[in-house]
């Protein structure tokens, strides 16, 4: 990476550590001589549609890699190894992590032609921090001030030390001020691709941005097509009408014809499959949730839903995390589950589990749990809905329980920030947990932070506002002519430098 400017993205060439990369003819396709040998578009199959393009209000994983990483830029970003690097800005941090100084890329412009200057960045950050429906307001709540010391320098000062603040900025996109009121349907960023169009349940079209401040994408057009049925998506890939299946379930991977397509997967996964409970509803009693945990047959789920991949876990952090603490959890024991339900005064319990369509492993997980619960007289209703419907219920806490998948970032705070903060403000108000989460951000010593996160993991396993099922295998499938494509440990399809040979 030494031959690139500090603002250039580095998503290719890191395969030895981060992921299995489709190189194919990547070296050739990056040269001018071979530019005519690649197609001018790449077609990517997504698990579901995206109907909100505002990066300050959409938290879906498919939005993260399909829109935020392509249409927008952030002050900093993760490379394919999940190491923090400059994106729109290089940075300096003072000793106690209260003052963050960012020097902006001098040639960065938004897709509307306006400059990505200090005033624009501050306006976007203030929007992310104060908008009523922003998902990032909590992350920016401790900001004391934003200051533009000149056109290309932004200084962010916090009220308190925060060892997680810089890493947290990687998820906060900088939005062009001209699009603040229209970002939901007409997003404007400064990323390698600009938004062209959206046809509901059919296609999202992105076009390469020639004035991008980093490495300009070699492919002119990305077509993102929502195809919930993975068998249909795989058949389309075999026929040539789709180039990449962004996420593939274990069942789909098991059917892969290696002569017709290639499996692309990271060498590690930070992805966790989990159940989130509404702790203020009919499942408010922790003993009831513990009983339900004893009825979760994780071994069967791992084999049936995940094809034997991944590993069972109770900790809300992946085993690769420096803060991971192994937890004993709850053995599969239906007699014990029934006894605990009786002790809690529950009989004929009935509740619902929300599952978004396009995730067959989640449906299979739900059916395994449903069958086990039926043996002890518990009725589990599995509601499978379109992603947009599922998301509405998720955000409003309109569920008894919901399946989710979360990719924990390089810093463990990402889980507690994004998954736990909404629960702590709503259905699971636990001051001890809130204090520990805050304390873990206020110290920079990793050993001390590790002890705090150890306490947090123990409490969450004991009280089960959320229930981790297992780490999930992350996989994608690409056609034989695809080059320059990889998947990172967060499960993101990295598409900015993908090409397809003619």
CA 141 → CA 59, 118, 166, 195, 441, distances in Å?
Answer: 18, 20, 14, 30, 13
Q: What's residue 24's pLDDT? A: 40
Q: What's residue 343's pLDDT? A: 98
On whether the CB atoms of residues 159 and 145 are closer than 8 A, the answer is: no
Rounded CA-CA distance 4/25 in Å is: 21
pLDDT tens string 356-377: 998 999 999 999 999 999 999 9
| 3-class SS of residue 485 | strand
Q: What is the pTM of this model?
A: 0.81
Alpha carbon distance, N-terminus to C-terminus of the chain? 29
Angle at 447 between CA 446 and CA 452, to 5 degrees: 95
pLDDT tens string 45-84: 999 999 999 999 998 889 999 999 999 999 999 887 788 9
On whether the CB atoms of residues 501 and 73 are closer than 8 A, the answer is: no
H or E element that contains 124: helix 118-130
Q: Model confidence at 320, in pLDDT bands (50, 70, 90)?
A: confident
Average pLDDT over residues 258-269: 90
Q: What's residue 61's pLDDT? A: 86
Going along the chain from its start, the domains and CATH numbers come out as 271-471 (3.10.105.10)
pLDDT tens string 82-94: 889 999 999 999 9
Residue 338 has pLDDT above 90, yes or no: yes
Residue 32 has pLDDT above 60, yes or no: no
Q: What's residue 60's pLDDT? A: 87
On whether the CB atoms of residues 219 and 500 are closer than 8 A, the answer is: yes
Measured in residues, the chain has a length of 502
**Percent of the residues in the chain that have a pLDDT greater than 90, as a whole number:** 85
User: Which token pair is 377?
Assistant: 């007289």
Q: What's residue 14's pLDDT? A: 23
Residue 17 has pLDDT above 60, yes or no: no
Q: What's residue 132's pLDDT? A: 84
CB contact set of 191 (below 8 Å; sequence gap of 6+): 69, 70, 71, 72, 73, 209, 212, 496
pLDDT tens string 389-420: 999 999 999 999 999 999 998 899 999 999 99
On whether the CB atoms of residues 168 and 115 are closer than 8 A, the answer is: no
Q: What's residue 36's pLDDT? A: 66
User: Which token pair is 54?
Assistant: 């505002």
| 3-class SS of residue 321 | coil
Angle at 195 between CA 192 and CA 201, to 5 degrees: 125
Exposure of 350 in the CB half-sphere (CA atoms within 13 A): 2
Residue 3 has pLDDT above 90, yes or no: no
């Amino acid at each position: 990476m030494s031959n690139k400017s500090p603002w250039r993205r580095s998503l290719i060439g890191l395969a030895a550590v981060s992921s299995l990369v489709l190189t194919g003819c990547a070296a050739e396709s990056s040269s001018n001589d071979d530019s005519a040998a690649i197609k001018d578009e790449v077609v990517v199959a997504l698990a579901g549609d995206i109907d909100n393009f505002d990066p300050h209000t959409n938290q879906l994983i498919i939005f993260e890699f399909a829109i935020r990483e392509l249409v927008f830029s952030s002050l900093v970003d993760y490379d394919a190894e999940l190491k923090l690097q400059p994106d729109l800005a290089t940075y300096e941090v003072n000793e106690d992590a209260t003052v963050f100084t960012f020097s902006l890329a001098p040639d960065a412009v938004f897709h509307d032609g306006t400059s990505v200057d200090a005033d624009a960045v501050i306006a976007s950050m203030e929007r992310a921090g104060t908008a009523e429906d922003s998902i990032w307001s909590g992350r920016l709540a401790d900001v004391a001030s934003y200051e533009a010391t000149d056109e290309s320098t932004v200084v962010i000062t916090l009220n308190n030390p925060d060892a997680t603040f810089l890493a947290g900025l990687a998820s906060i996109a900088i939005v062009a001020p001209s699009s603040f009121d229209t970002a939901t349907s007409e997003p404007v960023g400064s990323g390698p691709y600009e938004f062209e169009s959206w046809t509901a349940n059919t296609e999202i079209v992105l076009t390469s941005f020639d004035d991008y401040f980093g490495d300009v994408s070699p492919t002119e057009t990305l077509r993102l097509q929502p195809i919930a049925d993975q068998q249909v998506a795989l058949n389309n890939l075999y026929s040539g009408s789709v180039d990449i299946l962004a996420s593939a379930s274990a069942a789909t991977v098991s059917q892969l014809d290696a002569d017709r397509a290639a499996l692309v997967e990271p060498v590690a996964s930070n992805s966790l499959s989990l159940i989130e409970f509404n702790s203020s509803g009919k499942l408010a009693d922790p003993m009831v949730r513990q009983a339900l945990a004893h009825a979760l047959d994780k071994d069967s789920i791992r084999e049936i839903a995940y094809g034997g991949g991944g590993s069972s876990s109770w900790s809300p952090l992946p085993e690769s995390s420096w803060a991971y603490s192994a937890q004993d959890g709850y053995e599969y024991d239906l007699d014990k589950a029934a006894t605990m339900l009786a002790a809690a005064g529950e009989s004929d319990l009935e509740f619902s589990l929300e599952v978004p369509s396009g995730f067959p492993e989640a449906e299979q997980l739900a059916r395994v749990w449903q069958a086990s619960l039926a043996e002890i007289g518990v009725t589990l209703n599995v509601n499978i809905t379109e992603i947009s419907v599922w998301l509405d219920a998720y955000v409003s806490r309109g569920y008894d329980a919901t399946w989710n998948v979360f990719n924990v970032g390089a810093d463990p705070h990402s889980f507690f920030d994004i998954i736990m903060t909404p629960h702590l403000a709503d259905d699971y108000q636990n001051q001890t947990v809130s204090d520990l989460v805050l304390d873990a951000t206020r110290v920079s010593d990793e050993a001390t932070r590790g002890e705090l996160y150890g306490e947090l993991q123990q409490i969450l396993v004991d009280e089960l506002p959320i229930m981790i099922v297992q780490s999930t295998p992350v996989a994608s499938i690409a056609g034989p002519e695809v080059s320059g494509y990889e998947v990172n440990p967060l499960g993101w399809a990295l598409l900015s430098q993908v090409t397809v040979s003619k």
